[in-house]
Structure 1
Amino acid sequence: MRTAELRGQRYVVVREIDNPPPPAPDEVTIRIRAVALNHIDVWSWRGMAFAKRELPLILGAEAAGEVIAVGDEVEHLFRGDVVALYGAKTCGTCAACREGRDNFCDGQSAMYGFHIDGFLRERINVPARLAVKAPKGLDVVAAAMAPITFGTVEHMLFDNARLEAGETVLVHAGGSGIGSAAIQLAKAAGATVITTVGSPEKAKKAASLGADHVINYREERFEGRVRKITGRRGVDVVFEHVGPATWEGSIVSLARGGRLVTCGSTTGVSASTNLYLLFQRQLRLIGSFGCRMSNMSSVMEKMGKGLVAPVIDTTLRLEDLDKGLARLEARDVFGKIVVTL
């Protein structure tokens, strides 16, 4: 079978490797059909120093496919099922995993495509508990965006920030994969959505997804516009994943008692926080990482009902992976870049 391996910083090769053996009793064999690219793939491609892993490394952190073989002990999955794959090889036995909070498992150091071999290959064996069945009729490309693109966002907005109908949320980078998902999920929940983008073309696309107000951050300071839109009150929730470039403005954009939830820092890892605003306005800063597998099931149900839909920028072949990573790093994208196998 074919796979895409990282051999060194920004050096990716496509080659043939052996098919996996028959699945263990608690495993399933998946024929990977679609892999959605994310910034974690870019970080791996850059060779981020904090990642402890050995090269070569198979890339791909978010994927879906079809079950083609089932271990003897697996009772909830069958050949032909379309499944989305959880992005970390969690233990399944610790208290967090038993409670359905796999993103708190100690095994989170084993992230597919970053610490251990990922999903950019034609076949893989995975523990059956990490394969989440898609609802009937949902296509595999949509299912591929459940683990990170939509699952992470649902966990951020609703499990952590507790966004409710009637509240206002500021979504940064509305043209990104998770940004486009956040606009849709927040709007479907009855929230007013303000989003930032970097071009007039992206502004039009963000508005078409349901954003009530779109701010081109290259033309005006987003925090000033947010204060005007909200009558100087500020927003109830800020959906952060940009980092230092937007952090201080995000704090200023919050209403009294507002919640900032963040899952990433694509512009750096250190930012300055106005502590006076933090305590005087009784703000809450929430870190969020990954999602529960229940989030994956929930967002696939929403996709199946037509409440939200993946936004596809480009579909690529495995051989063009490095081009997709370069475009993602340059932010030359609206929605998701997907590799189909």
Structure 2
Amino acid sequence: MKSIRYSQTGPSSVLSLAERPLPEPDAGEVRLRVVVSGVNPTDWKSRSGATGTLAFEEATPNQDGAGVVDAVGPGVPDLAVGDRVWTCMAAQGRPTGTAQEFTVLPADRVTRLPDGVSFDVGAALGVPAVTAHRALTVAEDGPRRLAPGALTGRTVLVSGGAGAVGHAAIQLARWAGATVVTTVSGPEKGRLATAAGAHHVVNYREGDPAAEIREIAPDGVDLVVEVALAQNLALDQAVIRPRASIASYANDGGDGVNVDIRPHMVLNTRLQFILMYTMGAEALAAAAEDVTAAARDGALGVGEEHGLPLTRFPLERTADAHDAVEGGVVGKVLIDVADA
């Protein structure tokens, strides 16, 4: 099989295309014939060494993907050969990501893809949608699960609505019934956020964004999905209601932040940090179920018309795909591994 491999961390040039033996699943595992692999910032950061050293002699990148179950190991009762599936965290703690024609995964990292949901959608779920789900379910007064109506009557502020996690948060919050406000840096990203389903779009570089958000939500927003806490905490503080939650999932805009303790104490603010890899099995399983349900309902579309432009590369150009994500391309980068 064709596989993208690297044996040392560094720039995308450490990636190379190789022929490798077809892997066999052990107990509790399945083998996935990968159709589309999804690329996220975590993938290039792991490959570059930004998040630590390489734990294996050789590894295949990319956490997310979608394809067809090709073989099933002993002790896997709920998946069968031929099942269409999506996967998340394929390379977490393992050397076998989705940038290859076949990959072996623990069965609990594989979820059935509903009929009618494309492999493109499946490969774009993973890290962004699971992270967004967690961000939307940490509020003290909010739901622990998402479904239609779960966020009815609540206002959600999504910071950076044109990003992959922001896009998923808009779609999931809208599906769950929230009023969705998002901040963006300009008109083009605003157009994408609107296409994703945001009810209100605020350009944070113009005018008084806090006043604009307060006009939309006079009593304050219930929940903030935050990509740049160091940059945006003052704005968040100005627009949240008492007992609101700020769910921070990235360090865009800086690694440190000063918190005004007294104002947040008065508001009973909950500041929740999120990293998918340590959020626990229960939260991961809940996210997989709810995200799949949203996809089944058609709520998680991808492509320009849904606010998430797709940039595609063939498997042999995985290095270019990583460079595109590292370079800040807007939308989702996908790698076409095989025909459906």
**TM-score normalised by the chain length of structure 1:** 0.84
| 1:302–1:308 contact (8 Å) kept in structure 2 | yes
1:15 aligned to 2:11?
no
The residue that corresponds to 1:237 in the other structure is: 223
The residue that corresponds to 2:329 in the other structure is: 332
1:270 shift after superposition: 1.6
| 1:58–1:118 contact (8 Å) kept in structure 2 | yes
Q: Secondary structure at the match of 1:207?
A: helix
| 1:8–1:55 contact (8 Å) kept in structure 2 | no
| 1:160–1:288 contact (8 Å) kept in structure 2 | no
Aligned length, in residue pairs: 316
1:86 aligned to 2:88?
yes
Q: List per-residue Cα deviations over 1:139-178 (Å, max 9, x = no partner).
A: 2222223322222212220355626211111101111111
- Given candidates 244, 263, 269, the residue that maps to 2:249 is 263
Distance 1:226 1:329, change over 3 A: farther
Paired with 1:281 and 1:302, the residues of 2 have a C-alpha distance of 32
Q: List per-residue Cα deviations over 1:45-79 (Å, max 9, x = no partner).
A: 44215456356532101112211111233222111
- Given candidates 181, 184, 200, the residue that maps to 1:197 is 184
* Aligned pairs for 1:54-133 within 5 A: 54=56, 56-87=58-89, 110-111=92-93, 116-133=95-112
Q: List per-residue Cα deviations over 1:255-276 (Å, max 9, x = no partner).
A: 1221111222233322111111
**TM-score normalised by the chain length of structure 2:** 0.84
| 1:251–1:260 contact (8 Å) kept in structure 2 | no
The residue that corresponds to 2:209 in the other structure is: 222
| 2:184–2:203 contact (8 Å) kept in structure 1 | yes
| 1:146–1:296 contact (8 Å) kept in structure 2 | no
The residue that corresponds to 2:123 in the other structure is: 144
| 1:133–1:297 contact (8 Å) kept in structure 2 | no
Q: AA paired with 2:328?
A: R
Which is worse superposed, 181-190 or 209-218? 209-218
Paired with 1:223 and 1:47, the residues of 2 have a C-alpha distance of 38
1:297 aligned to 2:289?
yes
The residue that corresponds to 2:305 in the other structure is: none
The residue that corresponds to 1:107 in the other structure is: none
The residue that corresponds to 1:321 in the other structure is: 318
The residue that corresponds to 2:301 in the other structure is: 309
- Given candidates 271, 283, 287, the residue that maps to 1:285 is 271
Distance 1:79 1:45, change over 3 A: same
The residue that corresponds to 1:106 in the other structure is: none
Paired with 2:176 and 2:200, the residues of 1 have a C-alpha distance of 17
Paired with 2:292 and 2:187, the residues of 1 have a C-alpha distance of 31
Identity of aligned residues (%): 26
Paired with 2:245 and 2:165, the residues of 1 have a C-alpha distance of 18
1:48 aligned to 2:40?
no
| 1:132–1:293 contact (8 Å) kept in structure 2 | no
| 1:58–1:120 contact (8 Å) kept in structure 2 | yes
1:111 shift after superposition: 4.3
Q: List per-residue Cα deviations over 1:174-227 (Å, max 9, x = no partner).
A: 111111111111112221111111221111121122212112223345334323
- Given candidates 179, 189, 213, the residue that maps to 2:200 is 213
Q: Secondary structure at the match of 2:293?
A: helix
Q: AA paired with 1:198?
A: S
The residue that corresponds to 2:31 in the other structure is: 29
Q: Secondary structure at the match of 1:195?
A: strand
1:338 shift after superposition: 1.2
Paired with 2:325 and 2:239, the residues of 1 have a C-alpha distance of 27
Distance 1:177 1:49, change over 3 A: closer
Q: AA paired with 1:3?
A: S
1:168 aligned to 2:155?
yes
Paired with 1:330 and 1:217, the residues of 2 have a C-alpha distance of 22
| 1:143–1:300 contact (8 Å) kept in structure 2 | no
Paired with 2:318 and 2:186, the residues of 1 have a C-alpha distance of 25
| 1:195–1:215 contact (8 Å) kept in structure 2 | yes
Report the aligned-residue RMSD.
2.4
The residue that corresponds to 2:260 in the other structure is: 274
Q: AA paired with 2:123?
A: A
Q: AA paired with 1:212?
A: H
